[in-house]
Structure 1
Amino acid sequence: MIPEPLQAVGRSAWEALPTLLAAAPITLGYALAAMLFGLPLALLVALARLSRARPLRWVSGVYVSFMRGTPLLVQIFMLYYGLPAFGISVSPLVGGVLALTLNAAAYLSETMRASILSVPRGQREAALSLGLTPRQTLRLIVLPQAARVALPSLGNTLIGLVKDTSLVSVITVVELLRSAQLVIARTFEPFGPYLAAALIYWAISSALAWVQRRLEVRLSRPG
């Protein structure tokens, strides 16, 4: 016999499930958008940190240090509530994606920098001696190998972004966590909706981890 409190939790979780499932694509969309916009920015930052130009190294280093050294929640508040003080107003959608993108790019840039450095220097020198330009060497020789090395960390970052999207609920974005809160405000039963939201986060993260493992296996095959 299932205790009555557990039955109540199960009922509230089940009743909240349709609403939460409808919000799950929004959560996934925020994570994918931050990853999509964050990767090019991260590559630029990584190249700036590897540049011989000291100002580029300094500016990119400060950016990475600041974004990694401050809470994402504070960054969201600064962009959404702070930018209007400078005459720049952003919607919750733009503010959320922008904060997630800037934060993710800082972490991704360090992954990319380490991956680029992992490519043997001799390969770059050989490519240059064969007549390739530095840009061609980077695009054709270095980045394909660096991408293979970086894949596990990139996958982990995406999974982390899925969970970090819960923070954009503070600027009224109705994603997965915010949807659970709205259900709770209506039913006054917190545990079930939060449990259902946690299970959906878990399911999305597990699916992304499975895709990541499949890609790693495919890329590890010779030829």
Structure 2
Amino acid sequence: MSTYHFRWQQALAALPQMLDGAAVTVGIALLSMAVGLVLAVALTLARTSGNRLAGGLAAGWVEVARNTPALFQIYMAHFGLGAFGLHLTPVAALLCGIAFNNAGYLAENFRGALKAIPDTQTRAARSLGMSSFQAFRLIVMPQMLRIAFLPTTNQMVWAILMTSLGVTVGMNSDLAGVTQDLNARSFRTFEFFAIAAVIYYLITKAVTLAARLVAWRLFKS
């Protein structure tokens, strides 16, 4: 019976490469969140607009994003769109897949937050001469974002973890991709993936703690 010999020194020597991959992971997650937030606001407005076509399309987006695997969404961006002649790079496919997923979940969070805001606030803003758009932008949206802030933080954590699915479409510059390449060259599976798991954990904990600090500073009143 063979015994596995740990070689942590060899794995730790590759830590700078893994940290570079971690920076790519965070960058993709942040960009996907930025795109997802913009799309989520648009989806929320469409679902609450009263327009049946816009509301139906937005509701369909949310249903697909929330009820199909994130891996499926990334595959559709990379392989599915290729069937129509649109070939995305692994980075672009990963970004599109995660942003699509983020938009669906965030739109539902925002819709729930909107329901918590009394309609009287919009009516009061309109009585002061504001347009519907001004009332939403200046009165409703700040409250909506405040209520949905912590759920949005959870989605950011999920986006960071979803970037690891990029290896399935050939992504090799993020943390999961770098770790996979290092493992393929050295076969030190436990060491490399254990270190990667610790890095993922530290990143997500840092995001969570930073969000709590921001929430305390912004919403302590």
TM bucket (normalised to shorter chain) is over 0.9
Q: Which residue of 2 aligns with 1:120?
A: 118
2:33 aligns with one of 13, 32, 35: 35
Q: Equivalent of 2:159, from 150, 158, 161?
A: 161
Mapped partners of 2:130, 2:159: distance in 1:
37
Distance 1:147 1:84 in 2: 36
Deviating 4+ runs (over 4 angstroms): none
- Shift of the alpha carbon at 1:15? 2.8
Task: Give the Å deviation of 1:9.
Answer: 4.8
Alpha-carbon spacing, 1:109–1:47, altered in 2? closer, same or farther (3 Å): same
Corresponding position of 1:53: 51
- Residue 109 of structure 1 aligns with an amino acid whose one-letter code is A
Give the aligned residue type for 2:217: R
Provide the C-alpha distance between the structure 1 equivalents of 2:61 and 2:76, rounded to a whole number of angstroms. Answer: 15
* Alpha-carbon distance in 2 for matches of 1:43, 1:50: 11
Counterpart of 1:221? 220
Pairwise CA RMSD of aligned residues?
1.4
1:48-84 deviations in whole A, cap 9, x for unaligned? 1112112222111111111111111111111111212
Residue equivalent to 1:207: 206
2:41/2:110 contact within 8 Å kept: yes
Partners of 1:110 and 1:205 in 2: how far apart?
A: 22
Q: Structure 2: state its 5+ residue gaps.
A: none
% identical equivalent positions? 34
Residues 11 and 192, structure 1, Cα contact 8 Å, conserved in 2: no
Structure 1: state its 5+ residue gaps. Answer: none
- With normalisation by structure 1, the TM-score equals 0.93
Q: Which residue of 2 aligns with 1:108?
A: 106
Name the count of aligned residue pairs. Answer: 218
Q: Can you list the C-alpha shifts for 1:98-154, whole angstroms capped at 9, x where unaligned?
A: 111111100010111111221111111111111111111001100011111111011
Q: Is the 8 A contact 2:65 2:104 kept in 1?
A: yes
